[in-house]
Structure 1
């Protein structure tokens, strides 16, 4: 079933469970935040995001071309600054398919359909291979620049798939492919293959961490 959501396209791919800090300074997205703050129920302060394929987040020609699979975000923290900008934190709740983007009078809207996550029994060997490959990748990154990650990996296959997808520094198109994977098994197999390729790259060019070789960085808005 389709519904309409405020939209905030970004120059990054967001995964369910991610906590996303944003500095909101452009007028249309300030209006979006103000609109969300009028919603009485904090659980309903939601908006959508999709990654920008071509174009920019800001300016009259922002978001020229966007991917269609993105995430529903819930606004969880807001800090209103003296200059009228906002520092916010949003948490990604679930995937969604963008069916239509509408400019809107104040800020962009999208007609979206939420995407469910199929329940699958992930083979043990797929889980073990994903964990061991990430452990090797983490060790290689730690040797280069100190441990860039913290905490322990979740045991639940779905959470594990999303966590590894979010933690792995990859170009946008590959991160998008992880977001669009059909289920946890496909996502874990894909992230394992991509991590293996990252390890090979680190071994070939040990002086350049993977995060510095054509990798996507966070962008404010």
Structure 2
């Protein structure tokens, strides 16, 4: 059932499993953090995020300028600074669907519902192609600027789909499409297609800096 949830729109797309560091300085979001800290159970210190559409700012008409599918975040670390601001870290959990933003409250809130993640059997060839494509993309990026990634890819298909989506240096609209994909199979097929397009660009124009070739600088946040 949908229920009011504190909302913190961001200028990036967040995927389940991501760790999201934030510097909180606006009054309304400082109030949001204080509200979360009033919850005795750390598991209840949750809020939602959706990506702000490129070219828009969240204001009185914020409900029209954000994407509808986002993530539930759980506050995990808080550093209260002397100037009253906060440095926090939140971990993205499940996806959500934002139905509407609410006005007239001290901090942004929205009516949102958790979006269940379908459990599917991902075909082996989809998994193999996704891994191979990312390995090739990583090798190309390493040749251009050094390896920008660390660690190994997860074996679980759902985690693999989210990890590749988070790592792919793609424009916001394409990252949002990955977030909104129906299930892990669809998400892995899409991220494989998108990374293949990036590889083609790198191979055609190898002299450009990697961030220009990929059209956007990679960041896990």
The verdict on a shared fold, with TM-score over 0.5 as the criterion, is yes
Counterpart residue number, 1:19: 19
**1:23–1:64 distance in 2 versus 1, CA, 3 Å:** farther
| Contact 1:25 1:86 (8 Å CA) reproduced | yes
Query: Alpha carbon RMSD of aligned pairs, Å?
Result: 2.0
Shift of 1:208: 2.8
1:175 equivalent in structure 2: 175
- Residue 103 of structure 1 and its aligned partner are, at CA, apart by 2.6
Give the aligned partner of residue 187 of structure 2.
Answer: 187
How far, CA to CA, are the matches of 1:124 and 1:198 in structure 2?
23
Write the deviation string for residues 55-106 of structure 1: whole angstroms up to 9, x where unpaired. 236x777776000000000000001111111110000000000001113421
Mapped pair 1:215 → 2:216:
yes
Q: Deviations over 1:139-161 (max 9, x none)?
A: 00111111111100000000000
- Kept after mapping to 1: 8 A contact 2:166/2:220: no
Could you say which residue in structure 2 is the equivalent of 1:149?
149
Looking at structure 2, the residues matched to 218 and 27 of structure 1 have their Cα atoms a distance apart, in angstroms, of: 26
- Number of aligned pairs? 219
Q: Distance in 2 between matches of 1:193 and 1:60?
A: 37
Q: Does 1:6 align with 2:6?
A: yes
**Aligned residue number for residue 110 of structure 2:** 110
Find the aligned partners of 2:107 and 2:217 in 1 and give their Cα distance.
Answer: 26
Stretch of structure 1 that moved more, 130-139 or 206-215: 206-215
Q: TM-score, normalization: structure 2? A: 0.93
Alpha-carbon spacing, 1:43–1:31, altered in 2? closer, same or farther (3 Å): same
Uncovered stretches (5+) of structure 2, i.e. residues with no partner = none
Equivalences for 1:61-140 in 2 at 5 Å? Answer: 65-140=65-140
The structure-2 alpha-carbon separation of the partners of 1:70 and 1:186, relative to structure 1 and needing over 3 Å to count, comes to: same
Structure 1 gap ranges (5+)? none
